[in-house]
Amino acid sequence: MEARTIRIIGLDPGLRRTGWGVVDSDGVRLIYVASGVITPPSDDDLAYRLRALFEGVCGIVSSFKPAEAAVEETFVNENPRSTLKLGQARGTVLLAPAMSGLRVAEYTPNLIKKSVVGSGHADKTQIQAMVKFLLPKAKFDSADEADALAIAITHANHRASAAVLAAHHLKVART
């Protein structure tokens, strides 16, 4: 029986820099497809920065045609304004693939680190090293790209359980 390859986009949301990474997974192997960073103009008003994020993610989804998306869950900063702005960026990044009809999964930073490195408290250099190891053909220039690829890798490893959980939530919501 031939394994079905699934294309996954991982997104690491941020208002200044949103990392993205696309991988193909056949359930056993991971293949690097592409990665990059969306950088909205920092001198624009918030609404226009969010629009730039939305259009950027929509363009990437349109170009690479992933079947599923995964986004990192927000952590809470000490600064409430920063947390709110990150939440708005994250909402925009969640909406873009959803508008294209993709199933969107969310993962905590600790689960992503544990899935990729084996420790929920790994640092950025450990994540980058493991992403390079797991995706030897990956070409990335920033921690944002490496994080996005780590999110895609996490989804490749957890997508079956995420689908079961989503179906359960849908069933509960209908009753």
Residues designated as active site: 12, 72, 144
Measured in degrees and rounded to the nearest 5, phi and psi for residue 25 equal -135, 135
Check: CB of residue 68 under 8 Å from CB of residue 155: yes
Ranges of H-type helices in the chain: 46-64, 80-99, 109-116, 124-134, 143-174
Apex CA 128: angle with CA 152 and CA 114, to 5°? 60
Read off the tokens for 32: 């690097």
What SS3 class is residue 5? coil
